[in-house]
């Protein structure tokens, strides 16, 4: 059952990503990207990372995509003809795509078991058994404070000041973008 749900969402994610690239209209592209993000969130939840799944929806679908749409609308991106035609661009596309395929093929042989074995043998900065022993550190933190608590305590206590300054920084950036891009809004 879980495998079926996984493949369903995985297929949806790949389809969304492909359509995002293939669409001519930037708004439609953004919408397809949104469906990819939703599918990824579902996969995170299947993996037992509920918080990351929810954050995926909140941050990527809720915030980042809205910003994308804002930018598209503010800049009035006209539907121009693609300047990626021609033999040079085609050659570059084939080369980059080929490299990615080779990389993917190379990754194929890396099973989680082999990865763990490689890391255990390599001279590491940290003790791999403690970092990679089935997520012992993360499990300890989540057992003590819950998934949300393990993240919230550093974010809202130790790093509260940077967190708040970041929000002011983002606000300043938005004001600046609006002032420069559209004065008579």
Partner 1 sequence: MTRLDLSTPLGLTLALLPEIVLSAWALVVLLVVSWRHRSAEDSRLAGWLSFAGVAVSAAALAALWVNGVTSDGLAQMVALDPFRYGVAAVALLSAGATILLSLGYLERERLLAPEYYPLVLLATAGMMFLGGAEDLIVLFLGLELMSVSVYVLAGFNRANAFSAEAALKYFLIGAFASGFLLYGIALVYGATGTTNLSLGGAQLAGKPLGLMASLGLGLLLIGFGFKVAAVPFHMWAPDVYDGSPTPVTGFMATGVKAAAFAALVRVLMETFPAAASTWQPIVAGLAIASMVLGNLVALTQRSIKRLLAYSSIAHAGYLLAAVWPGTPVGAGAVLLYLVAYSLTTLAAFGLLAWLGRNGERDVTLNDIAGLAATRPGIAFGLTVCMLSLLGFPGTFGFIGKWYIISALVAEGQYALPVIVVLTSVVSAGYYLPIVMAMYMRPAPSADRYSAVRLAPTAAGAIAVAVAAVLLFGVWPAGVLDLAGQSGRTLTQTGVPIAGP
Q: Which residues bind partner 1 (CB under 8 A)?
A: 158-162, 165-166, 168-169, 171-173, 175-176, 178-180, 183
Which residues, in sequence order, are CB contacts of 3 under 8 Å at separation 6+? none
Residue 158 CB, nearest approach to partner 1 (Å): 8
Residue 150 CB, nearest approach to partner 1 (Å): 20
Dig out the tokens for 181 from the structure.
């891009």
* CA atoms within a 13 Å half-sphere pointing along the CA-CB vector of 57: 12
* Rg from Cα positions in the chain: 22
Looking at the Cβ atoms of 116 and 177, the one nearer to partner 1 is 177
138: left (phi over 0), alpha (psi -120 to 50) or beta: alpha
Residue 3 CB, nearest approach to partner 1 (Å): 40
Looking at the Cβ atoms of 14 and 160, the one nearer to partner 1 is 160
Looking at the Cβ atoms of 133 and 171, the one nearer to partner 1 is 171
């Amino acid at each position: 059952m879980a495998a079926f749900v996984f493949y369903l969402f995985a297929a949806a994610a790949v389809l969304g990503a492909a359509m995002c690239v293939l669409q001519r209209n930037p708004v439609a592209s953004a919408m397809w990207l949104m469906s990819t993000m939703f599918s990824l969130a579902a996969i995170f939840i299947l993996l037992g990372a509920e918080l990351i799944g929810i954050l995926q929806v909140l941050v990527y679908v809720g915030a980042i995509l809205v910003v994308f749409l804002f930018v598209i609308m503010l800049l009035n991106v006209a539907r121009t003809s693609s300047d990626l035609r021609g033999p040079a661009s085609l050659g570059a596309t084939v080369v980059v795509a080929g490299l990615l395929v080779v990389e993917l093929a190379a990754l194929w042989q890396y099973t989680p078991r082999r990865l763990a074995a490689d890391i255990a043998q390599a001279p590491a900065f940290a003790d791999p058994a403690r970092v990679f022993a089935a997520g012992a550190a993360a499990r300890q933190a989540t057992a003590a404070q819950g998934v949300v608590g393990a993240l919230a305590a550093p974010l809202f206590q130790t790093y509260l000041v940077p967190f708040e300054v970041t929000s002011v920084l983002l606000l300043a950036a938005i004001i600046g973008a609006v002032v420069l891009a559209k004065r008579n809004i």
